[in-house]
Amino acid sequence: MVKSADEIKQRGRQCSGSGFQSFKRTGGGPGSLQPDCAWGIDAQRQKLARNDGGFNSQDLTFHFKEIILMETLISRVYILVNYPNTPTRQSFFYMGNKSNPEQWAVQERLRFIERAAYWRGWVQRSDLMEVFGKGSAQVSADFQKYLEINPGALAYSTSRKRYEGQSGMKQVLQESRIEDAVGLFLEAGRLPFTSAAEASRSRAVEWVVLPERRAVAEVERRVFQAIMHRHRLRLRYMSLHGNSDEWRWIQPHALAHSGHRWHVRAWCAKNRDYRDFTLGRIAEADWPVTGEALPSVDVQWDAMSLLTVRPAASLSEEQKAAVMMEYGMKDGMLRLSVREAMRLYVERQLGLAPEDGLPPRLERVVAVP
């Protein structure tokens, strides 16, 4: 039988994060799906899409359809545990209509088509065949269905044998953002919290929710595709220095998250140098065009440096001990390997500069030649 809600909830407490985010298969039958810390649905989903088209369903631990069924089970268990005065237990654990799982699978395939075409810029029939284990006829029907739902969004390239997302494509099945694209197609792993986090719904838990610092999804999409395909694009940037509102050409090659917001690392044609552009200050962006050969490499981005800090000398011995414990310092030092281009953001996060009139808790250690 399926594990009881209390058992699942108790097992979940032993896992980092929510106990309803990971399950493992322990054998056959309905009861073989049990909570486990090491198996994450998010991790399985990240295996389902790669930027090089190298899908390999054999590498998946279990079938994609089971992921969908697990997510449904998890949501139902969550409702049962947190809302005990719901209808009968049976209505939460049985799917009812036997055709529902296939309908959910179809929706997943359609969303996959949309994500890949919108962010990566293209999607092939073989992608869906390998990821979802479907035949050519079913996959062709999926593409036809998506074209009916979102007409004009895709165009088939006979030379490349793939469907390509058009510049005016809109998302109609989901509202994915650049964090989703980075996790799926740049293999960046789990992303940090952003300002998009919701406020806590519990009186016993609270966290800081910062105001949004981001561009519209269409701008994010164009910047992301310029990076993926090594293109350049013209954008209207609201700068805090010099002319505050102007159009300029950039050729981006990387994304950087400072802990609060996204930055674009790009060659700036106006300044003839590599610069950081805050994604939330890009008001408009044209569709990317073929890039040009850059005159130099981004030295600050490629260079890694060692940032060493210690408790500030102005602190008492007790305060220094507290800071060392907080940062897990060894021999009274904290050593971080950082990109030169990201060094300023790391220092700001560490609070190396005084804030609100309070003395800093940390100070830099200057290496002696």
Q: Count of domains in the chain?
A: 3
Average pLDDT, the chain: 75
Q: Do both 100 and 249 map to the same domain? A: no
d(CA 19, CA 12): 3
Q: Do both 294 and 308 map to the same domain? A: no
User: If we measure between CA atoms, which residue out of 178, 174, 163 comes closest to residue 214?
Assistant: 178
Q: Do both 278 and 307 map to the same domain? A: no
- Using DSSP's 3-state secondary structure scheme, residue 198 falls into coil
Over the stretch 315-338, which tens digit does the pLDDT of each residue have?
Answer: 999 999 999 999 999 899 999 999
Is 31 among the domain residues?
A: yes
- Residue 46: what pLDDT? 46
Q: Do both 287 and 328 map to the same domain? A: no
Which ranges constitute the DSSP H helices of the chain? 5-13, 41-46, 64-82, 89-93, 100-115, 125-132, 136-149, 178-185, 217-228, 299-302, 317-326, 343-349
Over the stretch 42-66, which tens digit does the pLDDT of each residue have?
Answer: 444 444 444 444 434 443 333 444 4
Q: Do both 11 and 159 map to the same domain? A: yes
**CB burial class (10 A; 0-12, 13-18, 19+) of residue 272?**
exposed
Last residue within a domain, chosen from 298, 314, 339 = 298
Last residue within a domain, chosen from 165, 186, 203 = 165
Is 185 among the domain residues?
A: no
Q: Which two tokens stand for residue 353?
A: 């500069």
Q: Do both 157 and 275 map to the same domain? A: no
Q: Do both 54 and 99 map to the same domain? A: yes
Task: Quickly count: other Cβ atoms within 10 Å of residue 249's Cβ.
Answer: 16
Name the residue range of residue 72's domain.
5-165
Q: Do both 9 and 125 map to the same domain? A: yes
Q: Do both 155 and 288 map to the same domain? A: no
Is 205 among the domain residues?
A: no
Q: Do both 293 and 316 map to the same domain? A: no
Over the stretch 228-284, which tens digit does the pLDDT of each residue have?
Answer: 999 999 999 998 876 678 899 999 999 998 888 899 999 999 999 999 999 999 999
Is 53 among the domain residues?
A: yes
What is the mean pLDDT of the segment spanning 201-207?
A: 74
Q: Do both 136 and 233 map to the same domain? A: no
pTM: 0.61
Q: Which residues pair with 256 in a beta bridge?
A: 263
- Using DSSP's 3-state secondary structure scheme, residue 22 falls into coil
Is 281 among the domain residues?
A: yes
Last residue within a domain, chosen from 144, 165, 186 = 165
Is 210 among the domain residues?
A: no
Is 266 among the domain residues?
A: yes
